[in-house]
Amino acid sequence: MNDPDFRNKVADRLKKVQDDICRALEEADGAGRFSEESWERPGGGGGRTRILQHGGVIEKGGVNFSAVHGELPGNVAKALGVQEGNFFATGVSIVMHPLSPMVPIIHMNVRYFELGDGQWWFGGGIDLTPHYVDEEDARWFHRELKKTCDRFSPDFYPDFKTQADKYFFIRHRGESRGIGGIFFDRLTGPHDKRQFYFDLIIGVAGTFAPVYTHFMRKKSSLPWGERERQWQLLRRGRYVEFNLVYDKGTKFGLDTEGRIESILMSLPETAGWFYNFTPEPGSPEEQTLSQLRQARDWALES
């Protein structure tokens, strides 16, 4: 397989994804601008890290492109269940931590992976982590994802939604990171299926900007105070726990000695751990917590 034309096509298209998303986010943010660092990986390849800090809506967010290749480290090969050898991986990763606790955190990743022996697969997903769960927003978000998935196959959304619920679960807390979304990995098949999955991840990536800028515009003017900020810090603490303990992308980055500041751009500017914090019964914080302790079929609810 090892088709350099296809690799380059995917990588070039993902660079454009990064450009388009950064432009849309800057426009919706109003004040912030992305700064860029280009970096090279000693083992091969590199990336373009774009970070927006202290914007009008976004406190800290990253839109990262990378295309790395080289020898797959033994522990990574083992974790992936594949033979050691050459690999190529390209993707775009996004995490946005807004200033306002009323605006949700969002994460997107789309990726293409190839091994020296000809194996290839696509993966990706989008998921939302509201500090306060708004049921109407949750239904709208999932329906938007479903619309995108349905353009490719009616089977995708239910499958990918279930995978997201499983993946974004913080086992030691018994709660999910947020309200989920879609998650998929190892999409592969016969050679002629490659373009189809490529189109799928581009479709998913195309859903990101309209969905998140909708929330930026809708929620950022809502009032909030010290109480909401404390709760936001606590929910961000959970986000940190998930990313450092469970997230496979973070682990892959650390294990392949990627650029550390690019990998950990997913972490919020500040986070908090308040011992044994228990929200008051009936409070919005308690309602959010109970939402995070059950998986719901948001897209199917009326």
Q: Would you please indicate which residues are annotated as catalytic (active-site) residues?
A: 107
Among 241, 249, 279, 284, binds its own copies (CB under 8 A): 241
Evaluate whether 269 touches 234 at the Cβ level (below 8 Å): no
159 binds its own copies (CB under 8 A): no
Within 13 Å and on the Cβ side, how many CA atoms surround 65?
A: 18
Q: Which of 220, 10, 186 is nearest to 96 (CA)?
A: 220
- The SS3 assignment for 6 reads helix
Distance, CA of 265 to CA of 263 (rounded, Å): 6
269 binds its own copies (CB under 8 A): yes
42 binds its own copies (CB under 8 A): no
For residue 178, the minimal CB distance to its own copies (Å) is 19
Among 51, 128, 200, 292, binds its own copies (CB under 8 A): 51
Only segment of 13-21, 66-74, 185-193, 269-277 that touches its own copies (CB under 8 A):
269-277
Structural tokens at position 92: 């775009």
- The SS3 assignment for 256 reads coil
Considering the complex, state which of residue 59 and residue 134 has its C-beta at the smaller distance from its own copies: 59
173 binds its own copies (CB under 8 A): yes
Among 32, 46, 55, 62, binds its own copies (CB under 8 A): 62
For residue 267, the minimal CB distance to its own copies (Å) is 4
Evaluate whether 246 touches 34 at the Cβ level (below 8 Å): no
Considering the complex, state which of residue 139 and residue 238 has its C-beta at the smaller distance from its own copies: 238
Considering the complex, state which of residue 12 and residue 261 has its C-beta at the smaller distance from its own copies: 261
Distance, CA of 93 to CA of 111 (rounded, Å): 8
Evaluate whether 107 touches 94 at the Cβ level (below 8 Å): yes
**Radius of gyration of the CA atoms of the chain, in A:** 19
> Cα angle vertex 40, ends 201, 76, to 5°?
60
226 binds its own copies (CB under 8 A): no
Among 11, 76, 202, 244, binds its own copies (CB under 8 A): 244
Considering the complex, state which of residue 267 and residue 299 has its C-beta at the smaller distance from its own copies: 267
254 binds its own copies (CB under 8 A): yes
Distance, CA of 124 to CA of 132 (rounded, Å): 25
Beta bridge partners of 114: 88, 120
For residue 60, the minimal CB distance to its own copies (Å) is 7
Residues engaged in binding its own copies (CB under 8 A): 37, 51, 53, 60, 62, 171-173, 233, 237, 240-241, 244-245, 254, 257, 260-261, 263-265, 267-276
